[in-house]
Structure 1
């Protein structure tokens, strides 16, 4: 007698059954492996922020690079498949508090700055949104980083007496009535900022005035000529 061949329908059913069986076996193996591997738990024990203002604590220049870090302490517990504790240790993370807002209080004036990807931000007391402050009365700068009501940090910087006088004069040199001055007075402002030890601000003011006079080549030429003469006189 010739062996009986499976018809197409029966063969299809057998293939389907084989596929289901293989899937069930794979799931069973995976579950067994997961059960055998146990699990790990992490418990947050503490979460704090820290503002690193740098030294000295008394500001004697208008600029300061400040870093904010986020600190987390975990208890890490490893269990076997039966729930028995195999290992337990503490894990500490020191991370930058990146891309977050910092509140800054300068007397009655409040401003904000944002940290970069490394948790840093630059405090510049001659930024345009800060110069309205009464520098002669500015004694302290209060910094606050806040993640929640429970997780926050504060820091205080003091402002040197001589710096307060410099800031008062420098803010007027940089921002007051530039459009009413002639090119010689612009040059004098730049020169005076250099005398005050504010070379960065002097350079920024020079570049700003060159940009502002781009639409008036004659005025720009007069300004650059006056700058060159002043530099030659100082040499």
Structure 2
């Protein structure tokens, strides 16, 4: 097998290895990432606090209404019970009754406001709990899928490394050194195809002589622009 073909095949293997290892890093980060769940939990906690506050405020408003209603009952019992005969006292009781009823109206309006606020808080609470459950389920399934993919990729790497060893064994040391240097300098791509008389890596146009030289089965031709090894299928 010619050196250009061997180097190209090695490049294909290394590219697969690079992509596989990069994907494994992405998976590791994703598996350790819990921002989505933490955000959902934080939201649920905040909404839970608002819900409990609204519940307490409504209960207090209901108690105040009940207390005021009891005051009115006591007032009416005294007013119409016959125990009070003095006209001035009766007038005072009547005035008190009117004041108590006016304040009851205020308390009932307040109770209605708290009831509406509670219903909104209750709806938000249910929604946040549903959202949290859905997020936890989605993340759990995602982690299962990622773990399965991780396992497959970890099993794939040794196979690629074995192929790489075989490919390297057939390449001369000088050309291997050039290849390694180019890989380090050119973001992992040392060998690139020629497409439409251009370097597929940097896009530089090749002269007719360059394009022809790149077809040689034994001679290594490099792009004059980026220095990568050129290969024609």
TM-score bucket (shorter structure): under 0.3
Instruction: Please identify which structure carries the higher helix content.
Output: 2
Question: What is the TM-score of this pair, normalised by structure 2?
Answer: 0.22
More strand by share: 1
Whose Rg is larger? 2
